[in-house]
Amino acid sequence: MQRRIVIIGGVAGGATAAARARRANEHAQITLIEKDEHVSFANCGLPYYIGGEITDRSKLLLATPRKFHQWFNIDVLTRTEALRVDRQARTVQIKSRETGEIRDLPYDRLIIAPGASPIVPPLPGIDAANVFTLRNLLDTDRIKTYLDERSGGNAVVVGAGFIGLEMVEMLRHRGMNVSLVELAPQVLPPLDREMAHMVEVELARQGVGLHLGNGLKALETDGNVCKSVVLNDGTKLPADFVMLAIGVRPNIKLAQDAGLDIGKSGGIRVNATMQTSDPAIYAVGDAVEYVHGVTDLQARIPLAGPANRAGRIAGEHAATDQASPMPTVLGTAIVRVFSVTAAVTGCNRRCVDMVGGKMKAVYVPARHHVGYYPGAEEMIVKLIFNPDNGKVLGAQIVGGAGVDKRIDVIATAIRFGATISDLTTLDLAYSPPFGAAKDPVHLAAFVAENHLRGVDHLIDPMDVATLPPEVQIVDVRTEEEWKAGHLDRAVWIPLHEIRTRLNELDRSRPVAVTCRGGQRAYYAARVLKQNGFADVRNISGGMLMQAHV
């Protein structure tokens, strides 16, 4: 088909769409418009270049205009802005940011990938020379040049999402004193509060000043330089460098002006082949709505993975009128914060509550490979499922090595509608340097399955503080562990003594058992249950989780 395909916007969505369109249709005339200088770059790698972990800037340039032309016969117009779309005439009005020339570009199919822009609050001093946002290579170069010309100093990062935390780590690596400001009461909003707290502990351990539940109120400047950041509670933070990582807003003005439908979440509405309300126009990337894989609701999920997949589908369909449908999106994401890795997929507690669903969660500590092989690192898996049918709804994992593997396994399982029972039967690779015969995914699923079958009734760690006084709390850890700290109401009966000290407990009263992480408490609960104790429950995650609730 000799059709004219115009693509507005590059990077993950637009650049992928362009390349896929060419591979699907050698005879199409394809033009890619990008308002900035670089059409395809590794935006997820920008913080690591600033921090010095990536040393070669050219490695961030995934594809140049020349490469697009030589490899794919695609015309790339950089520093060119799309001003308006005329749907009746099927033209895009474009303007060269170098010459000022304005002209109309005709299309048969149009793909828009406008992306999103950093949220910048309208405060005096927000445009100071040492206040930055990070969205593209131009931002990166400005930040790196500024930091390279200085040594040490005080940095304030506003926003504790993925980019904010990556920048915190990189700025600490550069020797700066870093304060992290977040309006929400926790870091990493996609995680539940107790899991995010593990990341906060690591940030504090690394010397990062945490200011949670506290927003940005003002910037105090001297000329064109910000000297301090003032928070809502009046706290004043000295600032030689300020990074705004508050979040992003979808760039939907072009679509709105063209009369395309905008969804409830504020993103461009598309169908399964990424077509907008105008079938000749497609939209991909951070500005569109995707179908969430658990809630079935339309949601904006500004991540590189969905943008790439959407671009691939839009490019093929624009070129051939055929493509596989866009799969649902789970928001699977991962971030390294110094020595800790945090990952999430599917629904968290707030997500389930929002759609009025049922959920149960288990918390399981496990090592990323067998303990007898040197270097085993611990992670805590939070596995969320529907207690009525066992369907897996989501997971959050925080720990050391191996977190990425487990979150990807669970994300894959959720994508195909897996249940807890399905997770217990997964045939995963095992060798001492890589894993265990009972993988952390298996262990979490075993605990959840025991709960579903009524073998082991679980108490959510957040509910321990409100247990009624008639509940007997039994701690079955060692004496050393007990002396290091325990629940106020607990009685200490080590696991190896539980069978000989049953008479110290009242069989007519409920019992809640705890240990370090849950395994020994499970063993003790089975003993109690089979010795006449009718109501026996296991505190999920044990004392490990009590440190984070």
Q: Indicate whether 43 pLDDT > 90.
A: no
141, 179: one domain = yes
472 and 540, same domain (yes or no):
yes
Q: Are residues 111 and 253 in the same domain?
A: yes
Residues 294 and 358 in one domain: no
Res 38 pLDDT > 90 = no
Q: pLDDT band at residue 491, thresholds of 50, 70 and 90? A: very high
Distance from C-alpha of 110 to C-alpha of 141, rounded to nearest angstrom:
31
Q: Once rounded to an integer, what is the mean pLDDT over residues 330-351? A: 96
Could you tell me how far CA 342 lies from the centroid of its own chain?
8
Cβ contact 81:95 at 8 Å: yes
**Catalytic residue selected from 44, 226, 347, 515:** 44
b/e code 351-368 from CB counts within 10 Å (16+ = b): bbeeeeeebbbbbbbbbb
| Cα→Cα distances 35→80, 472, 543, Å | 4, 66, 53
Percent above pLDDT 70 for the chain? 100
Residue 246 tokens read as 């508050």
**CA terminus-to-terminus distance, the chain:** 60
DSSP string over 153-219: -EEEEE--SHHHHHHHHHHHHTT-EEEEEESSSSS-TTS-HHHHHHHHHHHHHTTPEEEET--EEEE
Residue 125 lies in a domain: no
In a domain, 121, yes or no: no
Does one domain contain both 360 and 392? yes
What is the SS3 assignment for 90?
coil
| Domain-located, residue 215 | yes
The tokens 């109401």 sit on which residue?
Answer: 489
Q: How far apart are CA 139 and CA 135, in angstroms?
A: 6
- On the question of pLDDT at 31 being above 80, the answer is yes
Grade residue 61 by pLDDT with cuts at 50, 70 and 90. Answer: confident
The yes-or-no verdict on residue 39 having pLDDT over 90 is no
Provide the residue range defining the domain that includes 525: 457-546
- Residue 14 inside a domain? The answer is yes
* Any domain includes 330: no
Mean pLDDT of 171-185: 97
- For the domain that residue 468 is a member of, what is the CATH number? 3.40.250.10
At residue 94, does pLDDT exceed 80? yes
Q: How big, in percent rounded to 5, are the helix, strand and coil portions of the chain?
A: 30, 30, 40
Closest of 153, 98, 158 to residue 134, by C-alpha: 158
Q: How far is CA 280 from CA 50, 53, 128, 283, 332, in A?
A: 40, 43, 43, 10, 30
Integer angstrom CA distances of residue 13 from 286, 298, 311: 8, 18, 4
Residues 484 and 378 in one domain: no
Known catalytic membership, residue 351: no
CB atoms within 10 A of CB 426: 15
| Last-in-domain residue among 198, 221, 246 | 246
Query: What's the structural domain count of the chain?
Result: 4
Q: For residue range 281-292, what is the model confidence (pLDDT) as tens digits?
A: 999 999 999 999
Report pLDDT for 309: 96
| Whole-number Å distance between alpha carbons of 9 and 251 | 11
Q: What 3-state DSSP class applies to 242?
A: strand
Average pLDDT, integer, range 401-430:
97
In a domain, 123, yes or no: no
Whether 348 and 294 map to the same domain: the answer is no
Please choose, from the candidates 517, 515, 516, 510, the residue with its C-alpha nearest in 3D space to the C-alpha of residue 537: 510
Share of the chain above pLDDT 90, in %: 94
Cβ neighbors of 378 (< 8 A, separation 6 or more) are 365, 366, 367, 368, 399, 400
Q: Return the structure tokens found at 373.
A: 């092989």
Calculate the CA dihedral of residues 192, 194, 200, 201 and round it to 10 degrees: -160
346: closest CA among 270, 415, 248, 271? 415
Q: Tokens 């304060």 appear where?
A: 179
Alpha-carbon torsion 36, 41, 47, 50, what sign? negative
The reported pLDDT for the residue numbered 475 is: 98
Using alpha carbons, list the distances in angstroms from residue 51 to 165, 168, 203, 529.
12, 10, 17, 55
pLDDT of 126 strictly over 80: yes
Q: Which of 10-14, 24-28, 486-490 has the lowest mean pLDDT?
A: 10-14
Q: Are residues 416 and 347 both part of a single domain? A: yes
Last residue of a domain, one of 452, 479, 499: 452
The whole-chain average pLDDT of the chain stands at 95
Q: What are the Cα distances from residue 62, in Å, to 90, 163, 335, 434, 452?
A: 31, 20, 22, 31, 48
Q: Are residues 171 and 135 in the same domain?
A: yes
Please tell me the predicted confidence (pLDDT) of residue 63: 84
The pLDDT assigned to 42 comes to 86
Domain membership flag for residue 334: no
Q: What is the CATH number of the domain that holds 213?
A: 3.50.50.60
Per-residue pLDDT for 41 more than 90? no
From 290, 320, 350, give the residue that closes a domain. 320
Q: Which residues pair with 317 in a beta bridge?
A: none
Shared domain for 11 and 108, answered yes or no, is: yes
Confidence at residue 64, expressed as pLDDT on a 0 to 100 scale: 87
The predicted model gives 77-97 an average pLDDT of: 96
Does 39 lie in the same domain as 89? yes
Instruction: Say what the pLDDT of residue 2 is.
Output: 87
Question: Tokens standing for 425?
Answer: 């039967």
How big is the CA angle at 294 (ends 293 and 300), to the nearest 5 degrees? 60
What pLDDT is recorded for position 356?
A: 87
Q: Are 160 and 85 in a shared domain? A: no
**Model pLDDT, residue 12:** 86
Q: Answer yes or no: is 262 within a domain.
A: yes
